[in-house]
Amino acid sequence: MKKLLLTVLVLLAVVASMMLFSCAGGETEHLYVYNWGEYISDGSEDSLNVTKEFESYYEELTGKRMKVHYTTYPSNEDMYAKISSGTSNYDVIIPSDYMIERMIKEDLLAPVNIEAVCEKYGAECYYDYIGEDYRGLFYDPDNIYSVPYTYGRVGVIYNTTMVDEEDLGGWELMWNEKYAGKILQFNNSRDGFATAQYMLGLDVNSTDRADWESAQRRLLEQKPLIQSYVMDEIYNKMESGEAAISAYYAGDYFTMLDINEDLGFYYPERTNVFVDAMCIPKGSQNPETAALFINFMLSPDIAIANAEYIYYASPNSLVFEDEGYIEEMGPEAMEILYPEGFNFAEELNTYAYRNLDDKTLDMINSLWEEMKITGGLPTSVYVITVVLVVLIASMIAAVVIVKKRRARWY
């Protein structure tokens, strides 16, 4: 049944795209890049426009014109829904570790033959500059399907003017009643549960319902203190001082710090570690150009431009060993992004999210939903509703009575 609908939709999409391309002419090649929002240097604020650069690079290399079509997604799950429906033809995507694991398992990714493609085009291959620590990770042990783009950890962002120093340090800050109404929580089940699980020392990849239920209890305790459950709104709310405490990705903290200098940041003892890596979906029409693009993203100028723009830690030694980059980021940012003595491989294996089976995911979502829907509206809302209903009912009754009376007269 699902297949049938998909087939119809695919047919429609194919017809529509053929109509589009028949007008475009044969000379230009197309590359479809699908990435997170705000996750590439895009030419704003005097930065390098990476997609434009690739177009001219490609033209120089092959003599053919290139058009990069760049679109964004807000979450791994949105991206997954689109790719797995089979209706899209993206060439490059940048999912996170656990999602790559899932997509490999479901046979949705094509191998990235970066070295072979570089050789064919006579381009310099930059894959070897990926740090040793960032290869052969759990989601892609043989480095076949992915090339790491960034990595990072989740930490707690707080407003130094509103939060006392002695309260800092752990996940407990997000449960501190002193800051009721000033705390933001993730509006997504996996990250939201993780804050409670790391605090309690539970495994974020547990398949045991009891574990998730004890995390849910903590989230329910936290609920009255929460100002709102957010994802991207966090920027506004933290930058304006509307909220004082929130957990988020380290790189994004610097984006907020640019606007609000009062913000501080720390990593709790146990916290999520993630890698986002570049992959080529099975449906790609152009896997070779895609691999060329991925190689281009690793080249020094481009990789540094991206890392400086998005503030996420880079696994590329051409970036993290570059002196200009280190100077540009400054010692404080370097300490947060690349802390000394941080054992990446071990932390990733302990704290990364893993792909879970459908039944477990369904259970997590139900528990999260249950937590979200607990608690009603203030009583005043119900009182007003009842008053309105009574008013409306009596008005209707009055009209009906008047009408009946009139009907008797005429």
Q: Which residues bind another protein (CB under 8 A)?
A: 1, 5, 8, 75, 77-78, 81, 187-190, 223, 226-230, 233, 236-237, 240-242, 358-359, 361-366, 368-370, 372-378, 381-382, 384-385, 388-389, 392, 396, 403, 406-407, 410
Give the Cβ contact number of residue 78 at 10 Å.
12
CB 259 within 8 A of CB 232: no
* Least distance in angstroms from the C-beta of 373 to another protein: 5
- 3-state SS class at 373: helix
Judged by CB, which is closer to another protein: 113, or 206?
206
* Least distance in angstroms from the C-beta of 35 to another protein: 18
* Least distance in angstroms from the C-beta of 206 to another protein: 15
Judged by CB, which is closer to another protein: 236, or 285?
236
Residues in a beta bridge with 150: 276
Residues in a beta bridge with 42: 49
Judged by CB, which is closer to another protein: 259, or 392?
392
Give the Cβ contact number of residue 65 at 10 Å.
14
Judged by CB, which is closer to another protein: 124, or 409?
409
* Least distance in angstroms from the C-beta of 287 to another protein: 28
* Least distance in angstroms from the C-beta of 381 to another protein: 5
On the CB side of 351, how many CA atoms lie within 13 Å of its CA? 25
Question: Measured at the alpha carbon of residue 256, what is the angle toward residues 204 and 343, in degrees to the nearest 5?
Answer: 40
Judged by CB, which is closer to another protein: 69, or 403?
403
Which residue is listed with tokens 């190689």? 295
Query: Could you give the CA distance from residue 161 to residue 167 in angstroms, rounded to a whole number?
Result: 13
Query: Could you give the CA distance from residue 334 to residue 338 in angstroms, rounded to a whole number?
Result: 5
Judged by CB, which is closer to another protein: 19, or 407?
407
* Least distance in angstroms from the C-beta of 77 to another protein: 6
**Residue type for 366, please?**
S
Judged by CB, which is closer to another protein: 72, or 228?
228
* Least distance in angstroms from the C-beta of 121 to another protein: 38
* Least distance in angstroms from the C-beta of 384 to another protein: 6
Tokens coding 14: 């194919």
Judged by CB, which is closer to another protein: 195, or 289?
195
Judged by CB, which is closer to another protein: 18, or 377?
377
Judged by CB, which is closer to another protein: 44, or 379?
379
Which residue is listed with tokens 């008047």? 402
Judged by CB, which is closer to another protein: 30, or 223?
223
CB 204 within 8 A of CB 353: yes
Residues in a beta bridge with 73: 36
Q: How far is CA 24 from the centre of its chain?
A: 33
Query: Could you give the CA distance from residue 173 to residue 248 in angstroms, rounded to a whole number?
Result: 14
Query: Could you give the CA distance from residue 291 to residue 112 in angstroms, rounded to a whole number?
Result: 6
Q: How far is CA 167 from the centre of its chain?
A: 29
Query: Could you give the CA distance from residue 134 to residue 116 in angstroms, rounded to a whole number?
Result: 21
| DSSP for 114-143, written as a single string | HHHHHHHHTPPP-GGGB-GGGSS-TTSTTS
Tokens coding 95: 């999912």
- 3-state SS class at 283: coil
* Least distance in angstroms from the C-beta of 100 to another protein: 16
Q: How far is CA 318 from the centre of its chain?
A: 25
* Least distance in angstroms from the C-beta of 368 to another protein: 8
* Least distance in angstroms from the C-beta of 92 to another protein: 22
- For 73, list phi and psi in degrees, rounded to 5: -130, 155
